[in-house]
A = this chain, B = another copy of it.
Amino acid sequence: MNIGEIARRAGVSRSTVSYALSGKRAVSEETRRRIQAVIDELGYRPNAAARALKEGRTRTLGLVIPPASLRLTDMQLGFVASVVEAAARVDLDVLLSPSGGDHDRSFERMISGRRVDGVILMEIRLEDERVDRLQQTGLPFVTIGHTANPHGTCWVDVDYATLISRCVHHLADLGHRQVALVNRSAELVASGYGPAQRALSGFTEATDQRGITGVHLCCADEASAGQSCMERLRDEHPAVTGIVTINEAALPGIHRALEQARVVVPRDLSITGVVARHWAEDFRPPLTAADVPMEMGTQAVELLLERISTPDAPPRHLLFTPPISLRATTGPAPVR
């Protein structure tokens, strides 16, 4: 089933069918209708490969996700979903590449095989060779998160430094004098993962500024890790009365540890941070937190489309600083 077959049945040339479909040339109403009838009958649709070959574009966006072996966090999953949805809205397909930091066959296939018109990269590190590779090739791309050298590239990100800083200030305003940051995993921090790094710097800055004590803890993205992390914290730093976190996956474990220790939130301990709304609302009591906006995926797609249509425009950045939603996990520091 190809355009020639449609043309034959409609008694016109192939170009007429093509023009009838694209509307790039006037086609008499009569023939247009005849062609459409044949197309509807046979359910014809142009072969994507032929079209891509001729047009030099694939109508496909590439999305580079963390390797499947690592369980994706809810936040990452939310990005994937919103990217796919935003792309579908403008009739673009999404090709997935599960690629970690090192060279990866699927990643290379995607970019040097010209399988996509542009790439969205998620979970990037401060130094990320995939970004370098993409810059070499000249393929338009947008990152979710940004590298250490962010000016030349196009990205969307959450302003973790500012948000975590605000969380600390919020706790300080409530009288807390010793607070802890429950960060992502030690490996992630060590590998230079942006959000973890910036959360830490915002935390340090704010605690310094307010002259309060800050404890930094790394914690794997799992409930059980959250639990042991919290147990260790209460053991080693019993004077901490406020927790700030960007590790949503640890929340259920944090909750469990507090419950078992009969700690009442927020009477005995305040908790806040930056997490997906879903996690904040599922916490008991509901978590006061800055809700990571899921539209970031949508924004990334928009930025990428801009970049594809005008590759020479200066790269744009979008830094989200969502408000902290006051729910129910922060309160005055307990009096001793």
Contacts and interface: CB of A to CB of B under 8 A. Distances in A.
Contact of A91 (B47, B109, B114, B284): B109
Given A72-B81, A81-B68, A284-B256, A45 B112 contact: yes
Interface residues of A, number: 50
A23 interface: no
Interface in A20-52: 43-50, 52
Contacts of A281: 224
Interface in A97-132: 97-98, 105-106, 108-110, 112-115
A275 to B, nearest CB: 14
A84 B108 CA distance: 16
Nearest to A43: B112
A71 interface: yes
Interface in A45-67: 45-50, 52-53, 58, 60, 63, 65, 67
14 contacts: A44-B112, A45-B113, A47-B113, A47-B114, A49-B114, A49-B115, A50-B53, A65-B84, A68-B82, A88-B97, A88-B105, A93-B110, A224-B281, A252-B252
